[in-house]
Structures are given as structure tokens and as C-alpha cells.
Amino acid sequence: MWERRPGEVTISLIFFLNEYEKVVLVLEKREINSMTYDYNQSEINDIEKWKATKPAKVSAEGFMVFSFNKDDELLWENVNIKSQVGDVAAGLLSSSYSMSISDEGKIRMAYAFSSNSSGILNSIKYIEWDELSGNKIKELALPNDEGLTMLRGFTMWFEDKVAIAGRKGLLGKKSNIVLYKLG
């Protein structure tokens, strides 16, 4: 039985595979910080274990992007430093990023962040890389006036726009969708 203890680091992994068998792999560091929160995989379906609220924070930090060809040769690698901290109640669902690879070969990524010391997610960072070279093409700080935490599974990517669904507030009782023009 594997137990996850506060302060232990986990790595989240997402990968994309295109029709030419090229792989883009993203690794992200995550950590739960709490003195009273223990994660035990065998207890995940026990509703009694979910009833007690325990204070904890989720930290989602920098990520690394790797690109490999069909022969498993590394084509390029990139690192992006970020820092997201959220309450564990919303953080496990909303910390992190959303990513897409366009038909034009652009790797696009967006995530909510705080541009000041308040910790309120007041901006959405948008980053774009060239899929062939790994070079950063664009980096924008988009306004997040509602202070939304992103729900990464509910982000819709268009060629020059992105629609981001998110929750507002500490407990995320309100939801909004915001459309951003990226060009």
C-alpha cells in the first residue's frame, strides 16, 4: 500500500502523440503541504474519510517540456518556471495548466497565476512554443479580473482564441467562462 504524505513531491505527466509518431511530453512538479492531511490510495472511495475537512495547500510548480521523434531521439527540451498555490479543496482540480498543439505546429499552454504577493490568481499566463524547434514564440499575461482558477479539462482552444472555464472564490461555488483573443 502506497501512502502519500504532506511534503512529498509528485510529478504529473501528460503527453501528446501526432500522426508522425512525434511525442511531446510535459512533466510538472506538485506537492501537498499540510500537517494534518495524509493521502492513502486505498481509502479514496471511503466516504467517511472525505467528511472531515483538513487544512492543506497544493503547490504546482515549474514544468519541463520534451519532444521526441519516432525513433525516441530527443529533439528539444524546455523548462518553464511557475508557482501556483491553492487550497486543497480546489487545488487538486484547478491547479496546473491546460495545453494544446495546433494544426500549425504551435504548442500552446495557459495557467492561472498571481502577479503579486496577495496570492489571488489575477492573471492567466499564455505561452506558445514552436513544435519543431521548441523555441518560445509568444508569452502573454492575460487579465483574470474574476480571479478564476482554471478547470483544465474545460478549456477550449481555437486558432486565435482560447475559452477558459474556471471557478471563482476559495470554495469555487461560482463558475465562469472567459474568452481570450490571443493574436
- 141-160 tens-digit pLDDT: 999 888 887 877 788 999 89
Question: What is the four-CA torsion angle of 144, 107, 27, 79, rounded to 10 degrees?
Answer: -80
Average pLDDT of the residues in 125-154: 88
Q: Look at 54 and 133; give whichever has higher pLDDT.
A: 133
Alpha helix stretches (DSSP H) within the chain: 88-94
Strand order in the sheet with 57-68: 9-17, 23-33, 57-68, 74-87
* Site of grid cell 472567459: 178
Q: Check pLDDT > 60 for residue 38.
A: yes
Q: What percent of the chain has pLDDT over 70?
A: 77
Its pTM surpasses 0.95: no
The three-point CA angle 177-182-165 to 5° equals 15
Instruction: Indicate the domain borders of the chain.
Output: 3-44+53-181
Among 124, 125, 114, 121, residue whose Cα is nearest residue 169: 121
Model confidence band, residue 120 (pLDDT cutoffs 50, 70, 90): confident
The count of residues in the chain is 183
Q: Look at 67 and 42; give whichever has higher pLDDT.
A: 67
Strands (DSSP E) found in 18-160: 23-33, 39-40, 57-68, 74-87, 98-101, 106-113, 123-130, 136-143, 148-157
Q: Would you state the pLDDT for residue 150?
A: 80
- Three cell numbers, residue 63: 514544468
Least confident of 30-34, 48-52, 98-102, 114-118: 48-52
Average pLDDT of the residues in 11-33: 80
Average pLDDT of the residues in 13-29: 82
Distance CA 168, CA 180 (A): 17
